[in-house]
Amino acid sequence: MKKTLLTLCALFFIVQFTAQNEHPKKPIQCTLRGEVRDLPNTYYLILEPFFEDRQIRIPIHNGEFEYVLNCDYGILYRLKVPREISGGTAFHHFNIFSEEGIVDLTFYLDPNDEHEVRYQLNEGPINMENERLGKKQNELVASLLDSLTLVEQQMQQASLIPLDKMRELQRERERIYGSIRQKQVDFTLQNAKECPNIVSYWAIVSIAISNNQFSQSQIMDAIEVYKTIYAPKFPNHPFTERMKALINSMEIVKEEGR
């Protein structure tokens, strides 16, 4: 099974990323297109590249949008879907990778919750890989999330719970949070080693740049995988520049603490 996973990951990497790795300055042309349903007051989308202070506004015409994104590398963007509500505008955020070819999306109002906007990914293999990994990670922690929900529901009855019981619930909540984070890290690191692509790279970066979400040892484990696999594989990528800056700042803080 492990051998099969490695073979599939290697094939995916070769097909999708060989050109980017061997020719890092070759532009990527990504056509972002799709539909917006049941959102009559949404006239545009906002695209923001991670780690950059700029925005791209994509107009919506007759419920459809299309934008050609030219970039040097496949990177992550935050895609915002604005929705007019009473008192202002609500923004719904989604993460999208730029990739060679077409990324086709459908945004729609959640039929079970009128306050939520959902999306369906119709085309784009790198983004589909990102979605698959996210679902897999959620499956791994599903039972823990159920336990967390039960604890938090009990904590909402604060006025009816003795102080010592509330403290016990708080400790249990922190224990569950810790277990969830550890499962996430273990899965991310293992997948990053077995299937080194841009999606796995972002997962490593996400752990490393987190503030207080992960422990120092978990962050250092992610940095070690970055150093041994991703730094040499993606030497000029913006994610690599971000990791270099992070490691430099950590070394400065360490030096000042001596």
User: CB-based burial of residue 101 (10 Å sphere; 0-12 exposed, 13-18 middle, 19+ buried)?
Assistant: middle
Q: What is the pLDDT of residues 8-29, one digit of tens each?
A: 454 444 444 444 443 355 689 9
Q: What is the pLDDT of residues 128-160, one digit of tens each?
A: 999 998 899 888 888 888 888 888 887 777 667
Residue 52: CA count within 13 A, CB half-sphere: 13
| Helices and strands of the chain, counted as H and E runs | 8, 8
Query: Does the pLDDT at position 182 exceed 80?
Result: yes
| DSSP-assigned states of every residue in 183-202 | HHHHHHHHHHHHS-SHHHHH
pTM of the entire structure? 0.81
Tell which residue, 48, 68, 65, 46, has the closest CA to residue 57: 46
Delimit the domains of the chain by residue range: 2-124, 141-256
SS3 label, residue 10: helix
Q: What is the pLDDT of residues 90-134, one digit of tens each?
A: 899 999 999 999 999 999 999 888 888 999 999 999 999 999 988
pLDDT of residue 257: 61
Angle, CA of 23, 25 and 26, to the nearest 5°: 70
Domain 2-124 sits in CATH at: 2.60.40
pLDDT of residue 84: 81
